[in-house]
A and B are shown apart, each in its own frame.
Chain A
């Protein structure tokens, strides 16, 4: 079989290509179900997939009640990080002095494994949602700053020269030329950033919390309710997926908007 892209792309190969991954997925789930059923595997270690589905319906209220605390803090942290990060990136592009002073420090700070700061935020901001919000902002701001600064810097030089020859002011150039050109960078950074915000909130909930999906996972872990744990993780996936598609939609709207200008 050739390693090159298949030139004969018939309907049949299309069907096969979309069925193969589903088939593999179902196969793995099937083996899992059969194995746990056949060996009567301890439910607390590896529950059957069907038990997970049952756990979702049994604990529906409990799980859905805990979605909002996690999702709202993650979204809030992400939005704050985007606003502050964007502001810092614009500042650093506008003033080379600010860039020289801040950028090496930010990059240097980024080397520290940021997850290690989580207990410090609990210490600083308490065990309420503030500490998780603060940590989510902290952990999700770096991708925004770094990629946005790179994006604003990498504007087409000929466009910048055109701006200069048309005597556009620095601010005009920044907002009318550099910013729209940096949008793809911003969007990819936002996708990374929302994931990081979710991680931040979940880690924060692991360390100390009395609500949220991360907390629910820990509670289920303490009671050895592994089926509930897996069910909660599935819901976390849905929340992540929802945010991801939200950003994809927002980025589409933004691109259309700026494209029309």
Chain B
């Protein structure tokens, strides 16, 4: 592929608003997970809730979009000067030449969950103030982003569960390469809701403590929420040496089971191999892998087998979900941003909460941060339905 430049990016999660807070939390090895106090949820689990989402004010002309997911989206896009960078790109390219490709799994479903508690006792009707199209609908966060920046180009929500905001990079690449657009706002936003908390609970996949990816005693996920945004553009002639490039994307399907990964990690292996091929890199070139690492028995086992098959047991890797929780449709996006931070700060983040790496997994799992220059990193995102996506980012050559 022709590399693309991540000209601007930002993330907001339970470990902090914006890049400085995020980097500080990574340096301090600080997790944002805490016992769940979200809404009326009565489950013994930990969540990665972003403080202050409820007090975000959606501007009046976009009031129909008001819901937790879009409040989190707005909070996220207003960090690190990201919104200003988008406006500059719109001025440069035109409102119809900047695409919007956003990943989400549950969008504003919380709004519907709350509306169902307020149904008319006689007719069963939903309350009049419930705006399905602009809140619950899966397109909502892409529509909101497009409206926020007053854009008139292509826009889409990509919703393939936990690979959603990794796959947006693939679709944006294709759209830019065809010349349909000159720049793309990509990212992912997912927010806490009852559907995912009670849903993962029904599958027995929620840990009762802060999740422990790749630990011998791992026992499930902690659900988090987050917003990640990146502006993708063609690589300019003059490029700073600290610039971060998108170099490869690999996508595949397990074709195995709706809620369990292929036990040998076959689809994951295909995704990583495709990403390496597209980037024109060998496995040995990758300096760090940001794992999908959800801390379920099956994910970490299947993923480690795929890692072993492609990389062997040497490549340093970790899951940052011990810090952020599993942010589902936003996971690919925030982990892409964490990879960009790793490249620009020579920082390999150690995984949190994990006490003893499961020896059966046979990977070089980092428990402590390591500081050294790195050039190429790979990020994995896999999801329900057997959807897999691997991204490769690199630091621009001198």
**A, B from the same assembly:** no
